[in-house]
Amino acid sequence: MGDERPAQPVNPAKSGLLGHCPRCGSGRLFSGFLTVKPACSVCGQSFEFADSGDGPAVFVIMIVGFVIVGLVLFVELSYQPPVWLHLVLWFPLTIALAGLILRPLKGLMIGLQFKHNAQEGRLDD
């Protein structure tokens, strides 16, 4: 159990972004905020292959950094608020945006690993 692919293929992007099993699309992928379950409770697919590493964090840094820096520059050039107001505005917004998109991006990377049968790199002898 857990090796056969479903008859109806699941969209890995959609299932990953929603935090669902990349094989059946029904079971939950996460047991905590970012903790991946050992296996799907619906189809039994093992999630031992799931190793997203630092990939999601890199995308979060790029996306959130682009948005926040753009907003900071706009506000600074338009209103010139004091530095303390920048800290009060941007620090919580940065944390909130990063928290909102980290889990879906981790699920997306795991879904794509499943779809493409990605494995750890190894050298041929």
CA angle 12, 13, 14 (to 5 degrees): 95
- Domain contains 1: no
Would you say residue 124 lies in a domain? no
User: Are the CB atoms for 107 and 17 separated by under 8 Å?
Assistant: yes
Instruction: Report yes or no on 48 lying in a domain.
Output: yes
The answer to whether position 3 is within a domain reads no
Q: Concatenated DSSP letters for 31-52?
A: SSSSPBPSB-TTT--B-TT---
Domain that holds residue 22: 12-115
Under DSSP, the state recorded for 28 is: B
Question: Domain for residue 121, yes or no?
Answer: no
The answer to whether 31 and 37 have CB atoms below 8 angstroms apart is yes
Domain count, the chain: 1
Residue 94 DSSP SS3: helix
pLDDT in 10s for each residue of the chain, 125 residues: 545 555 578 898 899 999 999 999 999 999 999 999 999 999 999 999 888 889 999 999 999 999 999 999 999 999 999 999 999 999 999 999 999 999 999 999 999 999 988 887 778 76
Helix, strand or coil, per DSSP, at residue 102:
helix
67-71 contact pairs (CB < 8 A, 24+)? 67/97, 68/93, 68/94, 68/97
